[in-house]
Chain A
Amino acid sequence: MLKDITIGQYFPGNSVVHRLDPRFKIIITGVFIAMLFSADGFLGLAVGGIFLIVSFLLSKIPFKLMMKSLKPIIPIILFTSVLNIFFLDGVPLLKLGFIKITDEGLRTSAFMVIRIIALIMGSSLLTYTTSPITLTDAIERLLSPLKKLKLPVHELAMMMTIALRFIPTLIEETDKIMSAQKARGADMETGSLVQRAKALTPILIPLFVSAFRRAEELATAMECRCYQGGEGRTRLRQLHSTGGDFFALGLSVIFLDAVLLLNFLMG
Chain B
Amino acid sequence: MSVIKTENLTYTYSIGTPFEKTAVNNVNLEIEEGALAGIIGHTGSGKSTLIQHFNGLIKPTSGKIYIDGEDIWSKDVKIRDIRFKVGLVFQYPEYQIFEETVYKDIAFGPKNMGLPDEEIDRRIKEIAELVGLHKDNLYKSPFELSGGQKRRVAIAGVMAMEPKALILDEPTAGLDPKGRDTILGQIKEYHQHKKSTVLLVSHSMEDMAKFADKILVMNKAEVFCYDDTPKVFARSAELENIGLAVPQITRVFNRLKQSGIDIRTDVYTVDFARKTILEYLEKRGGANA
Known: A12-B18, A179-B52, A183-B158. A202 touches B93 (CB 8 A): no
* A11 near B18: Cβ-Cβ < 8 Å: yes
* Cross-chain contact of B112 among A184, A205, A206 (Cβ < 8 A): A184
Q: In the complex, which residues of chain A have a beta carbon less than 8 angstroms from the beta carbon of B57?
A: 179, 182-183
Tell me the complex Cα distance, A177–B154, Å: 12
* A202 near B55: Cβ-Cβ < 8 Å: no
Q: Which of B64-72, B82-90, B220-228 is the interface stretch?
A: B82-90
- Write the A153-197 contact mask toward B (1 if CB under 8 angstroms, else 0): 000000000000000000001001101111111110000000000
Known: A11-B18, A179-B57. A185 touches B113 (CB 8 A): yes
Q: In the complex, which residues of chain A have a beta carbon less than 8 angstroms from the beta carbon of B83?
A: 182-185
What is the size category of the interface that chain A forms with chain B?
20 to 34
- Among B13-56, those with CB < 8 Å from A are 14, 18, 52, 55
- Name A's interface SS: helix
* B161 near A206: Cβ-Cβ < 8 Å: no
Q: In the complex, which residues of chain B have a beta carbon less than 8 angstroms from the beta carbon of A238?
A: none
Tell me the complex Cα distance, A212–B108, Å: 24
Task: Confirm or deny: A210 has a beta carbon within 8 angstroms of a beta carbon on chain B.
Answer: yes
Distance from B83 Cβ to chain A, minimum over Cβ atoms (Å): 5
B81 nearest in chain A by CB position:
A185
* B90 near A176: Cβ-Cβ < 8 Å: yes
Q: In the complex, which residues of chain A have a beta carbon less than 8 angstroms from the beta carbon of B112?
A: 184-187
Which of B55, B88, B90, B95 counts the most A-chain CB atoms under 10 A from its CB? B95
Task: Confirm or deny: B263 has a beta carbon within 8 angstroms of a beta carbon on chain A.
Answer: no
Q: In the complex, which residues of chain A have a beta carbon less than 8 angstroms from the beta carbon of B95?
A: 173, 176-177, 180, 206, 209-210
* B109 near A180: Cβ-Cβ < 8 Å: no
* Cross-chain contact of B98 among A12, A182, A187, A201 (Cβ < 8 A): A201
Q: In the complex, which residues of chain B have a beta carbon less than 8 angstroms from the beta carbon of A173?
A: 95
Q: In the complex, which residues of chain B have a beta carbon less than 8 angstroms from the beta carbon of A183?
A: 55, 57, 83, 87-90, 158
27 contacts between A and B (CB under 8 A): A11-B18, A12-B18, A173-B95, A176-B90, A177-B96, A180-B95, A181-B96, A182-B57, A183-B57, A183-B87, A183-B89, A184-B83, A184-B96, A184-B112, A185-B109, A185-B113, A185-B161, A186-B108, A186-B112, A187-B112, A202-B96, A202-B98, A202-B108, A206-B95, A206-B96, A206-B98, A209-B95
**What is the interface of chain A, defined by CB distance below 8 A to chain B?**
3-4, 11-12, 173, 176-177, 179-187, 201-202, 205-206, 209-210
